[in-house]
C-alpha cells in the first residue's frame, strides 16, 4: 500500500530525504487557487508540476503514482520537468512516458549510478538517456 504526502520547502534544491535545518520552512499541503473557477483551473492546472521538483522515496513509488494509479492527468504528467529519487534512476520507458522531463536528481550513491544530477537527453527515433552532470549534494 502506497501513501503519499505533500511537503513544500521554502528553499529550492534541498534533499527532501534528510533532516532539514531549523531555518528551512516546510509546510504539508499545497494551496492551489485554481479551484476558484474553471477558466483559472484550465490556465494553471499544470503550473505546480512545471515550477516544482517532485520527490519520490523510491522508483517503485514513482511508477505506482504515475502509471498504475494514474494520479495525474496526461497534461500534468507532461508538465513535470524535474524529479528527485532516493533509490534508483527511472528506466527509459518511464522517461518516454514523462515527455518533458529534463532533470533527475539521485540522492543516494548506488552501484553504477552515483548520486548527483542527471540530464535527460532526447534524440528523435531513439530512447531517452540520462547523462550525469556530476553535481553532488
Q: Mind listing the pLDDT tens digit for each residue in 8-20?
A: 776 665 667 666 6
For 18-60, the pLDDT digits (tens) are 666 555 566 656 666 666 788 887 888 888 889 888 888 888 8
User: What is the pTM for the complete model shown?
Assistant: 0.78
Helix (H) or strand (E) holding 42: helix 38-44
- More confidently predicted of 44 and 131: 131
Note the pLDDT tens digit of each residue in 67-86.
988 888 899 999 999 999 88
Amino acid at each position: 500500500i502506497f501513501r503519499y504526502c505533500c511537503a513544500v520547502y521554502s528553499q529550492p534544491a534541498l534533499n527532501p530525504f534528510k533532516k532539514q535545518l531549523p531555518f528551512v520552512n516546510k509546510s504539508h499541503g499545497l494551496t492551489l487557487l485554481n479551484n476558484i473557477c474553471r477558466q483559472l483551473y484550465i490556465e494553471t492546472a499544470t503550473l505546480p508540476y512545471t515550477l516544482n521538483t517532485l520527490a519520490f522515496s523510491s522508483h517503485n513509488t514513482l511508477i505506482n503514482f504515475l502509471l498504475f494509479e494514474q494520479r495525474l492527468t496526461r497534461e500534468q504528467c507532461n508538465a513535470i520537468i524535474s524529479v528527485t529519487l532516493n533509490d534508483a534512476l527511472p528506466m527509459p520507458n518511464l522517461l518516454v512516458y514523462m515527455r518533458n522531463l529534463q532533470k533527475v536528481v539521485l540522492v543516494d550513491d548506488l552501484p553504477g549510478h552515483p548520486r548527483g544530477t542527471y540530464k535527460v537527453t532526447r534524440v528523435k527515433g531513439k530512447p531517452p538517456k540520462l547523462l550525469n552532470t556530476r553535481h553532488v549534494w
